[in-house]
Amino acid sequence: MKLGKMMGSFAITVAMAASLFAMPRQESAKQDMKDAGHSTKEAAKDTGKATKKTAKDTGHAVKKDTKKTTHKVAKKTDEGAKKVENKTE
């Protein structure tokens, strides 16, 4: 009989514990708004960081390409000047 009482108490305890986990957590509309605001803030921060990185990378690429083009133009200008110099001699 003692085992039967213990099993009954155990079953009731397990059922009560299971019901606590099964109930969905109720949040208020105010908390939902706070969560949405926080998510929006984090998304804006991520977007800002990505924009900054992209702008920095683009700036570096433009600088590199400009330098490369400038050197190419200077080389061709020297070649042209040498051709003219050779023709005038």
pLDDT in tens, the chain (89 residues): 465 566 667 777 777 666 666 656 667 888 999 999 999 999 999 999 999 999 999 999 999 999 999 999 999 999 988 888 877 77
Does residue 19 lie in a domain region?
no
What's the structural domain count of the chain?
A: 1
Rounded to the nearest 10°, the torsion over CA 45, 51, 53, 59 is: -150
Query: Distance between CA atoms of 62 and 36, rounded to whole angstroms?
Result: 39
Query: Distance between CA atoms of 31 and 38, rounded to whole angstroms?
Result: 10
Does residue 48 lie in a domain region?
yes
Does residue 1 lie in a domain region?
no
Does residue 78 lie in a domain region?
yes
Does residue 6 lie in a domain region?
no
Per-residue confidence (pLDDT) for residue 1, from 0 to 100: 47
Q: Which domain holds residue 80?
A: 25-88
pTM, rounded to two decimals? 0.48
